[in-house]
Amino acid sequence: MALTLYYHPLSSFCWKALIAFYEADVAFTPRVVNLGDPADRAAFQAVWPLAKFPVLRDDARGQTIPESSLIVEYLARTQASGASLLASDPDAAMQTRLLDRLIDNYVHLPFQQIVSERMRPDDKHDPFGAEQNRGKVAEGYDLIAPMIARTWAMGETFTLADCAALPALFYADYAVKLAAWPNLAAYLERLKARPSVARVLAEAEPFFQYFPLKDG
């Protein structure tokens, strides 16, 4: 199979790419990477030296595509069934990219900093930094909430922005509850009911026990 996706089922950014694959019903070879295994890490670094997933390898085109947003855009550009993930209209496509970046930079990334703080050694915790990042997540919610007032992020079509929103909101809700943002909470429930998303969540379920904030 020409397309190989290097990923891990628990990785939030990998979810963005997986949702796009399942949404567009694009066949691919799944390659789960265990970064804790030296041999597996080395094999992955031969594909992408930074060893950060997800990474898509398209052998037919001789292309290696890192970064979740770029992978989704690549599917939209090269796969007919994925075209709707990014609008053909330049203005609509720019707005979709904007929302994708806002979600990643102002919700997803500060939440990951909260997780990183939880995973530090006992004598290296930074409660103040974690609290600052909780504030940043809340600010991110405030930023994107008015922009999502319809069924999906960009209206009635499921796009790159929705692929980005699910992992960000799903995981960030563990640290900063969405109850104070009812429209985002309702949007998250719609996302979780989407078949492509439900499939990703089901595949991740066996790994949730390793999620550092699972116990609250």
For residues 69 and 104, is the Cβ–Cβ distance under 8 A?
A: yes
For residues 178 and 141, is the Cβ–Cβ distance under 8 A?
A: yes
Q: Where are the alpha helices (DSSP H) in the chain?
A: 12-24, 38-47, 68-78, 90-103, 109-118, 127-144, 160-172, 182-193, 195-204
Here the tokens at position 110 are 């500060």
Please classify residue 79 by burial: count the beta carbons closer than 10 Å to its beta carbon, then call 0-12 exposed, 13-18 middle and 19+ buried.
Answer: middle
**Does the pLDDT value for residue 216 go beyond 50?**
no
pTM of the full structure: 0.93
- Smallest CA-to-CA distance from 164 within 86, 99, 76 is with 99
Q: Which domains does the chain have, with CATH numbers?
A: 3-83 (3.40.30.10), 90-194 (1.20.1050.10)
Summary mean pLDDT of the chain: 92
- Smallest CA-to-CA distance from 24 within 90, 71, 93, 89 is with 71
Task: Quick: pLDDT tens for 68-115.
Answer: 999 999 999 999 999 999 999 999 999 999 999 999 999 999 988 877
Task: Quick: pLDDT tens for 116-162.
Answer: 666 566 666 667 667 888 999 999 999 999 999 899 999 999 999 99
